[in-house]
A = this chain, B = another copy of it.
Amino acid sequence: MSIEPRTLKGFRDFLPEEARRRQFVISVLRNIFESFDFAPLETPALEYEEILTGKYGEEGDKLMYRFEDNGGRRVALRYDQTVPLARVIAQYQHQLPMPFKRYQIQNVWRAENTQKGRFREFLQCDADIIGSTSTRADVQIISVAAAGLKALGFENFRVLINDRSIFEGLSKGTIIAIDKLKKIGREGVIQELVSKEGYNEQEAEQTLSRIENATAPTRLQEIFENLNLIGKETVPYIFSPTLARGLEYYTGLIFEIEVEGYTAGSVCGGGRYDDLIGMFSKEAIPAVGFSYGFDRLLEAMEVLGITPQLPPMIDILVTVFSEDLASSSVSFASRLREQGFRVEVYLDEANLDKQIKYAVKKGVPYLAIIGPDEAHSDMVTIKTLATGEQARLSQNEATEFLLGNIQKENS
């Protein structure tokens, strides 16, 4: 009996076109991270279970992939990139430069409910600055987050910025209710404060108003001043006093980025979390960072029509006239490769029409045709697919022609 070929629910194969697009987005973000001097870090897929459990609340422990390995060790699959980062900081403390600026782009695994369109394996893209309390670190984190979006072609987005200290003195329930403002509206928030948190109408209204009209704390003002120097063109931000980012571990700055025209949620979120990184060591180590939602980024690009049109992988398809002439095609292809061209030799046996269709489908710009006439005189016919023009040239002339045209296109 043959085994049914299938993937697990919530897991995805990325076939070439999608894999290339994802790689492209990753390389754009990688470039931006590195241009701001963030260095890559990679951690293992598997960790000792005790490293991960108890760090993400009950929900996290439930959704984590955990098992016993062949050696009887309790292990768990990476659930996010922040806890492994905290472990790395503690483990290599004396080797790492401080402040430590790292980015990390790896998959994480969560046994999420797939009914909600969630994935069980998905890519996270994080950038964090560890070991600095400076507002310049906060400013830089916001700047790099915005720069990544610009580099991907997003033009209209805004960074919503707040500071956790805005909520000082308020109960968790109150913060959770206020955080829902965008989703459920003012009336909704007030109702929730009354029904769940024991406020009366007036108190609820006053509390919400007080937050809505709060002024930014001093530290945030300093951040805003620096962001203004960088310019609103570069980092379009607004102060958003009702932004709470759930009940996460943030201790100061919090921010989210919303993309105009994409309503499924923020594509990026982060903030300062000065108490979390120290979990594996004795001292608290300040930290500020953010994470792009990679799948959301791709979805937003799709929605806005800015998904990159990737160029064809190859410049030239060398056709094969017949098996006995194939070697001429192979050697001409090799010659082109030595010139730095990206070249494919047609692999199957097929008539020229089929080979041309193959090139057109792949978007290959040039065809090199070596039939019996060409083969016997060391010539080659070059066909420009966009115009249909073709010319029979010596192999030298053909190489010159392609060098001229393909460099022109790439520059």
Contacts and interface: CB of A to CB of B under 8 A. Distances in A.
Interface of A: 2-8, 11-17, 19-20, 22-23, 27, 30, 34-37, 39-48, 50-51, 62-63, 65, 67-71, 73, 75, 77, 87-88, 90-92, 95-97, 99, 102, 107, 109, 111, 120-121, 129, 132, 134, 136-137, 139-140, 143, 147, 225-226, 229-231, 234, 279-282, 313-314, 320, 326-327, 330-331, 334, 337-338, 341-345, 347-349, 361
Contacts of A120: 46
A6 B95 contact: no
Given A19-B42, A39-B313, A347 B99 contact: yes
B344 A13 contact: no
Contact of A41 (B19, B132, B147, B281): B19
Contacts of A137: 347
A349 B281 CA distance: 24
Contacts of A35: 313-314, 337, 341-343
A68 B67 contact: yes
18 contacts: A5-B90, A5-B91, A5-B281, A6-B51, A14-B40, A15-B95, A27-B27, A34-B342, A36-B342, A37-B342, A62-B70, A65-B70, A67-B67, A132-B347, A136-B326, A225-B327, A229-B334, A230-B334
Contacts of A320: 136
Contact of A50 (B3, B121, B279): B3
A92 B73 CA distance: 37
B13 A40 contact: no
Given A234-B338, A348-B134, A69 B111 contact: yes
A402 to B, nearest CB: 14
A156 to B, nearest CB: 19
Given A14-B40, A36-B314, 16 more contacts: A2-B280, A3-B51, A3-B280, A7-B91, A8-B48, A11-B45, A13-B92, A17-B39, A35-B337, A35-B342, A37-B343, A65-B70, A136-B345, A140-B347, A230-B330, A230-B334
A137 to B, nearest CB: 5
Given A2-B282, A91-B13, A107-B45, A330 B75 contact: no
Given A69-B65, A70-B111, A136-B320, A44 B11 contact: yes
B226 A327 contact: yes
A7 B44 contact: yes
